[in-house]
Structure 1
Amino acid sequence: MATPTSPRATGLLDLDVPTWVVAGGSLLVGFGVADLTGVRPLGGVVLFLAALWCGLVWRRARGLPIASGLVLAYLVAFALSHPLGKAISSWPAVLVVSAVVALLAWAVVDRHRAS
């Protein structure tokens, strides 16, 4: 970990935030932003920024193959939330995929970062 006086210590990748919170939460927040504003691309911006940050942190923590797989899982979960939403309604679908993504991020990266 970078020392408080080094330039890297203030970088966004050095934030002590579990990625499972950002990955799972961003799916909820992104959908909420799109739903409340009626501007779907604005929700997409939330998703893009969160996936970018998580992907970079995941790459640093576990390497490019793991990070790529997790970003792919994030994108697949987002895509699957749409047909799932037709079956069980939008918010429940987003809750389900958010929980799956959060659990996956915790299991693959965050539980290893904590130790």
Structure 2
Amino acid sequence: MPSRKRQLGGVVLAVAGAAAARQWRQQAGGVAAGALSAAYVAAFAGSHPLAKKVGAWPAVFGVAGAVGLASWVVADRRG
């Protein structure tokens, strides 16, 4: 039986990604928003195999930090 918590996590991930993409588009334009959105999705996918090596929370914090840094460099630093 699938866990509803995983499904809820996917909903939260999608809503947060959509909100971030909107903000990125406003601050840095469509191309930057597309690149950062791709990084967001890739980081989520990459966190799973990374978690097998370093643990779940270190993987989550690591990829979140990487996307956060990329967001700052591409969209936030300009302001």
TM-score (norm 1): 0.63
SS of residue matched to 1:39: helix
In structure 1, what is the Cα distance between the partners aligned to 2:37 and 2:67?
A: 10
In structure 2, what is the Cα distance between the partners aligned to 1:38 and 1:99?
A: 26
Partner of 2:25: 59
In structure 2, what is the Cα distance between the partners aligned to 1:77 and 1:85?
A: 12
Q: CA RMSD in A?
A: 1.3
In structure 2, what is the Cα distance between the partners aligned to 1:57 and 1:96?
A: 22
Partner of 2:36: 70
Compute the displacement of 1:38 (Å).
Answer: 6.1
In structure 1, what is the Cα distance between the partners aligned to 2:46 and 2:78?
A: 27
Identify which range, 38-47 or 103-112, moves more after superposition: 38-47
Partner of 1:98: 64
Structure 1 residue 88 and structure 2 residue 54: aligned?
Answer: yes
In structure 2, what is the Cα distance between the partners aligned to 1:38 and 1:63?
A: 35
> Identity of aligned pairs, percent?
44
Rg larger in structure = 1
In structure 1, what is the Cα distance between the partners aligned to 2:4 and 2:61?
A: 19
Say how many residue pairs are matched: 77
TM-score (norm 2): 0.90
**Residue type at the aligned position of 1:56:** R
In structure 2, what is the Cα distance between the partners aligned to 1:50 and 1:39?
A: 16
Over 2 Å off, 4+ runs: none
In structure 1, what is the Cα distance between the partners aligned to 2:44 and 2:38?
A: 10
